Amino acid sequence: MALWVEKHRPASLDKLTFHGDLTEHLKQLSSSGDLPHLLVYGPTGAGKRTRIAAILREIYGPGAEKLKVSQRMFETPSRRKLEINLISSNYHIEVNPSDAGIYDRVVIQDLIKEIAQTQQVATSSARKFKVVVVHEADALTRDAQHALRRTMEKYMGNMRVILCSTSTGKIISPVQSRCLLVRVAAPSIDDVVGVINSVAKKEGITVPGPFAQQLAVGSKRNLHRALLMLEAAYVKEYPFSDSHDIPLPEWELFIKDISRSALKSQTPAQLMAIRKQLYEVLTHCIPPTTILKTISTHLVDGVSEDLKPEIVHQAAFYEHHLQSGQKAIVHLEAFMAKFMSVYKRHQMASV
Protein backbone atom coordinates (compact mmCIF):
# COMPACT_ATOMS: atom_id res chain seq x y z
CA MET A 1 0.00 0.00 0.00
CA ALA A 2 2.52 2.43 -1.06
CA LEU A 3 1.89 5.88 -2.30
CA TRP A 4 1.97 6.12 -6.08
CA VAL A 5 4.94 8.37 -5.99
CA GLU A 6 6.99 5.58 -4.46
CA LYS A 7 5.30 2.73 -6.22
CA HIS A 8 6.08 4.00 -9.66
CA ARG A 9 9.50 5.39 -8.99
CA PRO A 10 11.88 4.25 -11.70
CA ALA A 11 14.48 2.03 -10.11
CA SER A 12 17.06 1.97 -12.86
CA LEU A 13 18.54 4.44 -15.27
CA ASP A 14 16.77 2.72 -18.14
CA LYS A 15 13.39 3.51 -16.77
CA LEU A 16 13.90 7.22 -16.34
CA THR A 17 11.48 9.08 -18.52
CA PHE A 18 12.80 12.59 -18.91
CA HIS A 19 16.18 14.30 -19.23
CA GLY A 20 17.25 11.75 -21.78
CA ASP A 21 20.68 13.30 -22.41
CA LEU A 22 21.50 13.31 -18.77
CA THR A 23 20.42 9.70 -18.39
CA GLU A 24 22.66 8.71 -21.25
CA HIS A 25 25.53 10.56 -19.67
CA LEU A 26 25.01 8.92 -16.31
CA LYS A 27 24.85 5.50 -17.92
CA GLN A 28 28.22 5.99 -19.49
CA LEU A 29 29.65 7.24 -16.24
CA SER A 30 28.48 4.30 -14.22
CA SER A 31 29.42 1.70 -16.71
CA SER A 32 32.96 2.97 -17.08
CA GLY A 33 34.11 1.22 -13.95
CA ASP A 34 35.16 4.39 -12.27
CA LEU A 35 33.07 7.19 -10.94
CA PRO A 36 34.11 10.72 -10.14
CA HIS A 37 32.78 12.58 -7.13
CA LEU A 38 29.40 13.92 -8.04
CA LEU A 39 27.58 17.05 -7.09
CA VAL A 40 23.97 16.54 -8.08
CA TYR A 41 21.93 19.68 -7.90
CA GLY A 42 18.52 20.87 -8.94
CA PRO A 43 15.16 21.84 -7.49
CA THR A 44 13.17 19.49 -5.28
CA GLY A 45 11.01 16.99 -7.04
CA ALA A 46 13.18 16.97 -10.13
CA GLY A 47 14.49 13.47 -9.52
CA LYS A 48 17.93 13.95 -8.00
CA ARG A 49 17.66 11.19 -5.49
CA THR A 50 15.98 8.89 -7.93
CA ARG A 51 18.95 9.35 -10.22
CA ILE A 52 21.45 8.83 -7.45
CA ALA A 53 19.71 5.62 -6.47
CA ALA A 54 19.66 4.53 -10.08
CA ILE A 55 23.37 5.19 -10.43
CA LEU A 56 24.11 3.18 -7.33
CA ARG A 57 22.02 0.34 -8.64
CA GLU A 58 23.76 0.55 -11.95
CA ILE A 59 27.14 0.29 -10.25
CA TYR A 60 26.48 -2.24 -7.53
CA GLY A 61 23.40 -4.08 -8.72
CA PRO A 62 20.27 -4.70 -6.65
CA GLY A 63 22.29 -5.01 -3.44
CA ALA A 64 22.46 -1.25 -3.28
CA GLU A 65 18.73 -1.15 -2.80
CA LYS A 66 18.76 -3.09 0.41
CA LEU A 67 18.78 -0.22 2.76
CA LYS A 68 18.83 -0.17 6.48
CA VAL A 69 18.65 2.63 8.94
CA SER A 70 20.91 2.84 11.90
CA GLN A 71 21.73 5.38 14.44
CA ARG A 72 25.12 6.49 15.38
CA MET A 73 26.50 8.55 18.19
CA PHE A 74 29.03 11.28 17.62
CA GLU A 75 30.80 13.27 20.21
CA THR A 76 31.64 16.89 19.64
CA PRO A 77 34.83 18.44 20.97
CA SER A 78 32.70 19.99 23.68
CA ARG A 79 31.63 16.48 24.71
CA ARG A 80 28.13 16.90 23.48
CA LYS A 81 26.56 13.76 22.13
CA LEU A 82 24.85 13.75 18.80
CA GLU A 83 22.67 11.07 17.35
CA ILE A 84 22.65 10.83 13.62
CA ASN A 85 20.61 8.52 11.48
CA LEU A 86 22.51 6.70 8.82
CA ILE A 87 20.99 4.93 5.88
CA SER A 88 23.22 2.37 4.38
CA SER A 89 23.49 -0.56 2.11
CA ASN A 90 26.54 -2.74 1.89
CA TYR A 91 27.97 -0.49 -0.73
CA HIS A 92 27.04 2.95 0.24
CA ILE A 93 26.04 5.10 3.14
CA GLU A 94 23.76 8.08 3.16
CA VAL A 95 24.07 10.83 5.71
CA ASN A 96 22.25 14.01 6.37
CA PRO A 97 24.83 16.03 8.26
CA SER A 98 22.51 18.98 8.59
CA ASP A 99 20.78 16.97 11.31
CA ALA A 100 23.80 17.73 13.43
CA GLY A 101 23.32 21.46 13.00
CA ILE A 102 26.53 23.33 13.60
CA TYR A 103 28.33 20.17 14.56
CA ASP A 104 28.13 18.68 11.11
CA ARG A 105 31.88 18.97 10.79
CA VAL A 106 32.29 16.28 13.40
CA VAL A 107 30.02 13.98 11.46
CA ILE A 108 31.85 14.61 8.23
CA GLN A 109 35.25 14.13 9.76
CA ASP A 110 34.51 11.05 11.79
CA LEU A 111 32.20 9.20 9.54
CA ILE A 112 33.59 9.86 6.14
CA LYS A 113 37.15 9.35 7.21
CA GLU A 114 36.27 6.13 8.86
CA ILE A 115 34.55 4.79 5.81
CA ALA A 116 37.22 6.12 3.56
CA GLN A 117 39.94 4.40 5.52
CA THR A 118 38.19 1.07 5.29
CA GLN A 119 38.65 -0.88 2.14
CA GLN A 120 35.85 -2.69 0.51
CA VAL A 121 36.40 -6.33 1.31
CA ALA A 122 33.26 -7.89 -0.01
CA THR A 123 34.45 -9.78 -3.01
CA SER A 124 31.07 -9.76 -4.57
CA SER A 125 31.18 -6.03 -5.01
CA ALA A 126 31.80 -4.78 -8.46
CA ARG A 127 33.82 -1.79 -7.43
CA LYS A 128 36.76 -1.04 -5.24
CA PHE A 129 35.13 1.97 -3.71
CA LYS A 130 32.19 2.72 -1.54
CA VAL A 131 29.93 5.68 -1.99
CA VAL A 132 28.98 8.26 0.56
CA VAL A 133 25.88 10.19 -0.32
CA VAL A 134 25.61 13.49 1.47
CA HIS A 135 22.08 14.83 1.38
CA GLU A 136 21.20 18.48 1.80
CA ALA A 137 24.78 19.38 1.08
CA ASP A 138 23.90 23.03 0.79
CA ALA A 139 23.09 22.98 4.48
CA LEU A 140 26.65 21.96 5.31
CA THR A 141 28.52 24.57 7.25
CA ARG A 142 31.68 26.01 5.88
CA ASP A 143 33.73 24.08 8.39
CA ALA A 144 32.20 20.83 7.29
CA GLN A 145 32.81 21.61 3.65
CA HIS A 146 36.43 22.36 4.36
CA ALA A 147 36.68 19.12 6.25
CA LEU A 148 35.29 17.43 3.19
CA ARG A 149 37.59 18.83 0.58
CA ARG A 150 40.79 17.15 1.68
CA THR A 151 39.08 13.90 2.50
CA MET A 152 37.70 13.78 -1.00
CA GLU A 153 41.14 13.79 -2.53
CA LYS A 154 42.98 11.74 -0.02
CA TYR A 155 40.71 8.73 0.02
CA MET A 156 39.77 8.76 -3.62
CA GLY A 157 40.83 5.13 -3.84
CA ASN A 158 38.28 3.86 -1.37
CA MET A 159 35.45 6.21 -1.56
CA ARG A 160 33.36 8.40 -3.80
CA VAL A 161 31.22 11.23 -2.52
CA ILE A 162 27.90 12.15 -4.05
CA LEU A 163 26.67 15.47 -2.84
CA CYS A 164 23.04 16.25 -3.31
CA SER A 165 21.86 19.82 -3.04
CA THR A 166 19.31 22.20 -4.43
CA SER A 167 21.83 24.69 -5.70
CA THR A 168 25.56 25.07 -6.01
CA GLY A 169 25.48 28.48 -4.44
CA LYS A 170 26.33 27.35 -0.98
CA ILE A 171 28.92 24.78 -1.89
CA ILE A 172 32.40 26.23 -1.61
CA SER A 173 34.31 26.27 -4.85
CA PRO A 174 37.13 23.93 -3.77
CA VAL A 175 34.52 21.24 -3.25
CA GLN A 176 32.75 22.10 -6.47
CA SER A 177 35.95 21.79 -8.42
CA ARG A 178 36.53 18.29 -7.08
CA CYS A 179 33.15 17.13 -8.25
CA LEU A 180 31.47 16.48 -11.51
CA LEU A 181 28.50 18.79 -11.53
CA VAL A 182 25.28 17.10 -12.51
CA ARG A 183 22.36 19.40 -12.93
CA VAL A 184 18.94 17.83 -12.70
CA ALA A 185 16.55 20.46 -13.91
CA ALA A 186 12.91 20.49 -12.94
CA PRO A 187 10.89 18.53 -15.49
CA SER A 188 8.99 20.57 -18.00
CA ILE A 189 5.21 20.76 -17.81
CA ASP A 190 4.98 18.22 -20.59
CA ASP A 191 7.34 15.88 -18.75
CA VAL A 192 5.20 16.10 -15.65
CA VAL A 193 2.03 15.51 -17.64
CA GLY A 194 3.71 12.52 -19.24
CA VAL A 195 4.60 11.03 -15.87
CA ILE A 196 1.10 11.68 -14.57
CA ASN A 197 -0.39 9.91 -17.51
CA SER A 198 1.88 6.91 -17.23
CA VAL A 199 1.11 6.58 -13.52
CA ALA A 200 -2.58 6.92 -14.25
CA LYS A 201 -2.30 4.20 -16.82
CA LYS A 202 -0.56 1.85 -14.40
CA GLU A 203 -3.15 2.58 -11.74
CA GLY A 204 -5.95 2.17 -14.22
CA ILE A 205 -7.52 5.56 -13.79
CA THR A 206 -8.21 8.22 -16.34
CA VAL A 207 -6.87 11.71 -15.89
CA PRO A 208 -8.37 14.31 -18.21
CA GLY A 209 -5.77 16.32 -20.10
CA PRO A 210 -6.64 19.73 -18.66
CA PHE A 211 -6.56 18.38 -15.13
CA ALA A 212 -3.14 16.82 -15.65
CA GLN A 213 -1.97 20.12 -17.02
CA GLN A 214 -3.36 21.89 -14.00
CA LEU A 215 -1.61 19.47 -11.67
CA ALA A 216 1.69 20.05 -13.39
CA VAL A 217 1.34 23.79 -13.07
CA GLY A 218 -0.03 23.67 -9.53
CA SER A 219 2.81 21.50 -8.35
CA LYS A 220 5.26 24.01 -9.76
CA ARG A 221 6.91 21.24 -11.78
CA ASN A 222 7.70 19.34 -8.65
CA LEU A 223 7.13 15.72 -9.59
CA HIS A 224 6.79 14.52 -6.01
CA ARG A 225 4.10 16.98 -5.39
CA ALA A 226 2.32 16.44 -8.67
CA LEU A 227 1.94 12.74 -7.99
CA LEU A 228 0.98 13.23 -4.38
CA MET A 229 -1.60 15.77 -5.42
CA LEU A 230 -2.94 13.40 -7.99
CA GLU A 231 -3.30 10.71 -5.40
CA ALA A 232 -4.82 13.07 -2.84
CA ALA A 233 -7.33 14.21 -5.42
CA TYR A 234 -8.07 10.60 -6.21
CA VAL A 235 -8.64 9.73 -2.55
CA LYS A 236 -10.93 12.69 -2.19
CA GLU A 237 -13.02 12.35 -5.30
CA TYR A 238 -12.98 10.18 -8.40
CA PRO A 239 -13.62 10.29 -11.35
CA PHE A 240 -11.96 13.55 -12.26
CA SER A 241 -13.59 16.25 -14.26
CA ASP A 242 -11.74 18.63 -16.56
CA SER A 243 -11.88 21.48 -14.11
CA HIS A 244 -11.25 19.37 -11.06
CA ASP A 245 -9.89 21.27 -8.08
CA ILE A 246 -6.28 20.54 -7.50
CA PRO A 247 -5.79 19.82 -3.83
CA LEU A 248 -3.29 22.37 -2.63
CA PRO A 249 -1.33 21.39 0.43
CA GLU A 250 -2.98 22.58 3.61
CA TRP A 251 -0.11 24.90 4.51
CA GLU A 252 -0.42 26.71 1.25
CA LEU A 253 -4.06 27.41 1.93
CA PHE A 254 -3.19 28.51 5.41
CA ILE A 255 -0.57 30.94 4.16
CA LYS A 256 -2.96 32.19 1.52
CA ASP A 257 -5.29 33.01 4.39
CA ILE A 258 -2.59 35.06 6.04
CA SER A 259 -2.01 37.16 2.97
CA ARG A 260 -5.72 37.57 2.50
CA SER A 261 -6.17 38.94 5.99
CA ALA A 262 -3.21 41.27 5.50
CA LEU A 263 -4.87 42.63 2.39
CA LYS A 264 -8.21 42.93 4.08
CA SER A 265 -7.32 45.23 6.94
CA GLN A 266 -4.15 46.92 8.11
CA THR A 267 -4.23 47.58 11.81
CA PRO A 268 -1.94 46.73 14.70
CA ALA A 269 -4.55 44.25 15.90
CA GLN A 270 -4.47 42.54 12.54
CA LEU A 271 -0.70 42.40 12.69
CA MET A 272 -1.02 40.71 16.04
CA ALA A 273 -3.44 38.16 14.59
CA ILE A 274 -1.06 37.54 11.72
CA ARG A 275 1.78 36.95 14.13
CA LYS A 276 -0.24 34.15 15.70
CA GLN A 277 -0.87 32.57 12.32
CA LEU A 278 2.78 32.89 11.37
CA TYR A 279 3.79 31.16 14.57
CA GLU A 280 1.35 28.42 13.72
CA VAL A 281 2.85 27.76 10.31
CA LEU A 282 6.41 28.09 11.52
CA THR A 283 6.02 25.63 14.34
CA HIS A 284 4.58 23.16 11.88
CA CYS A 285 7.96 22.99 10.20
CA ILE A 286 7.20 24.96 7.07
CA PRO A 287 10.48 26.60 6.12
CA PRO A 288 10.32 30.37 6.65
CA THR A 289 11.60 31.05 3.15
CA THR A 290 8.66 29.15 1.72
CA ILE A 291 6.30 31.12 3.90
CA LEU A 292 7.73 34.45 2.86
CA LYS A 293 7.72 33.47 -0.79
CA THR A 294 4.16 32.20 -0.73
CA ILE A 295 2.86 35.20 1.15
CA SER A 296 4.56 37.68 -1.13
CA THR A 297 3.27 35.91 -4.23
CA HIS A 298 -0.27 36.22 -2.96
CA LEU A 299 0.26 39.80 -1.86
CA VAL A 300 1.61 40.79 -5.23
CA ASP A 301 -1.47 39.26 -6.80
CA GLY A 302 -3.67 41.31 -4.54
CA VAL A 303 -2.23 44.80 -4.96
CA SER A 304 -2.37 47.30 -7.76
CA GLU A 305 0.28 47.44 -10.45
CA ASP A 306 2.26 50.37 -9.12
CA LEU A 307 2.74 48.75 -5.74
CA LYS A 308 3.97 45.41 -7.05
CA PRO A 309 7.65 46.30 -7.50
CA GLU A 310 7.75 47.71 -3.99
CA ILE A 311 6.30 44.53 -2.48
CA VAL A 312 8.70 42.33 -4.39
CA HIS A 313 11.58 44.51 -3.33
CA GLN A 314 10.58 44.32 0.31
CA ALA A 315 10.07 40.57 0.12
CA ALA A 316 13.55 40.12 -1.28
CA PHE A 317 14.99 42.41 1.37
CA TYR A 318 13.43 40.53 4.26
CA GLU A 319 14.24 37.20 2.71
CA HIS A 320 17.85 38.23 2.75
CA HIS A 321 17.62 39.23 6.39
CA LEU A 322 15.92 35.98 7.14
CA GLN A 323 18.89 34.07 5.83
CA SER A 324 21.35 35.79 8.11
CA GLY A 325 19.06 35.81 11.11
CA GLN A 326 17.92 33.20 13.51
CA LYS A 327 14.41 33.88 14.69
CA ALA A 328 12.32 33.58 11.57
CA ILE A 329 9.20 35.04 13.12
CA VAL A 330 10.89 38.37 13.63
CA HIS A 331 11.68 38.78 9.97
CA LEU A 332 8.34 37.58 8.73
CA GLU A 333 6.62 39.92 11.10
CA ALA A 334 8.80 42.81 10.00
CA PHE A 335 7.85 42.06 6.42
CA MET A 336 4.17 41.99 7.25
CA ALA A 337 4.43 45.23 9.22
CA LYS A 338 6.25 46.83 6.34
CA PHE A 339 3.68 45.62 3.88
CA MET A 340 0.83 46.90 6.02
CA SER A 341 2.32 50.32 6.43
CA VAL A 342 3.20 50.63 2.74
CA TYR A 343 -0.18 49.34 1.63
CA LYS A 344 -2.11 51.50 4.05
CA ARG A 345 -0.19 54.58 3.01
CA HIS A 346 -0.82 53.75 -0.63
CA GLN A 347 -4.52 53.29 -0.03
CA MET A 348 -4.81 56.54 1.90
CA ALA A 349 -3.06 58.34 -0.93
CA SER A 350 -5.31 56.87 -3.59
CA VAL A 351 -8.53 57.69 -1.76
Partner 1 sequence: MDYGSSGEEIDPSEFFGATSPKVKPKAKAKAAPKSKAAAKSDATSSAARPSGQPVALTEFGFPANELPTVAPKKFNYGMVNRSAGGSSDIPASVMPDGAPNCLEGLKFVVTGEFSDLTREQITDLIKSFGGQITSAVSGKTSYLVVGNDPGSSKVNKAKSLKTRCLYESNLMDMIRSTKPDAGSSVPETEPEPEPGNEPESEPELVITDEPVVKDEPVAKSKVKSAETQDRPAEAISKPASKQQSEVKTEPVSRPVPKPAPVSASSASSALAAAAQKTASTASQAQSQLWTEKYKPTKLKELCGHKTQAQEIMKWLSWWASGGIPEKRSVLISGPPGIGKTTTAHLAAKLSGFDVFELNASETRSKNTLKSMLGAAVSNRSVFEFDRKALNKLETEQEQENDRDVTEFATTSGAKKLVIIMDEVDGMSGGDRGGSAELIQLIKRSRVPIICICNDRMSPKVRSLANYCEDLRFRRPTEQQMRARLNTIAFREGLSIEANAIGQLVKSTHNDIRQVINLMSSYSLNKGSMNYLESKAFSTLNRKEVAIGPFDVIGKYMNGMENASMSFADKLDLYYNDFSITPLFVQENYIDNKPSAASDTCESLEALSKAADLIAEADIVDNKLRGSQQWGLMPLHAALSCVGPAYHVRGSHNGMYRFPLWLGQNSKGSKLSRYLKDVQSHMRLRVSADKTEIRKSYIPAMVPELIKPLADQGASGIPDVIAIMDHYYLSKDHWDAMIELHLDGEQMIKRIPTAVKSAFTREYKKVNHPVAFSGHAAGASAKAVQAASSASLRPDTEDYIDDDDDGLADDDDADDDGSQSGDTLENDDLIATKKPKASAKPKPSAKAKRGTADSASTPRKRKKT
350 touches partner 1 (CB under 8 A) = no
Nearest to 102 by CA among 79, 76, 132, 134: 76
8 touches partner 1 (CB under 8 A) = no
- 32 vs 349, beta carbon nearer partner 1: 349
Beta-bridged to residue 183, according to DSSP, are: 41
Binds partner 1 (CB under 8 A): choice among 92, 135, 178, 298? 135
Nearest to 108 by CA among 95, 90, 89, 93: 95
Q: How far is CA 216 from CA 8, 136, 161, 220, 337, in A?
A: 17, 25, 33, 6, 34
The C-alpha atoms of residue 185 and residue 39 are separated, in whole angstroms, by 13
Which residue type does 14 have?
A: D
Collapsed DSSP state (helix, strand, coil) of residue 288: helix
Binds partner 1 (CB under 8 A): choice among 68, 157, 243, 306? 68
Instruction: Return the residues of window 302-331 that contact partner 1 according to CB under 8 A.
Output: 318, 321, 324-327, 329-331
Residue span binding partner 1 (CB under 8 A) among the ranges 1-9, 155-163, 199-207, 210-218? 1-9
Least distance from partner 1 to the Cβ atom of residue 254, Å: 5
Instruction: Return the residues of window 100-129 that contact partner 1 according to CB under 8 A.
Output: 114, 117-119, 121-122, 124
- 68 vs 264, beta carbon nearer partner 1: 68
Residue span binding partner 1 (CB under 8 A) among the ranges 15-23, 167-175, 190-198, 245-253? 245-253
Strand ranges in the chain using DSSP code E only, listed in sequence order: 38-41, 68-75, 81-88, 92-95, 130-134, 159-165, 180-183
Residue span binding partner 1 (CB under 8 A) among the ranges 32-40, 152-160, 181-189, 280-288? 280-288
Between 158 and 197, how does the x/- string for binding to partner 1 read (CB under 8 A)? ----------------------------------------
The C-alpha atoms of residue 224 and residue 50 are separated, in whole angstroms, by 11
DSSP-assigned states of every residue in 24-55: HHHHHHHHTS----EEEE--TTSSHHHHHHHH
286 touches partner 1 (CB under 8 A) = yes
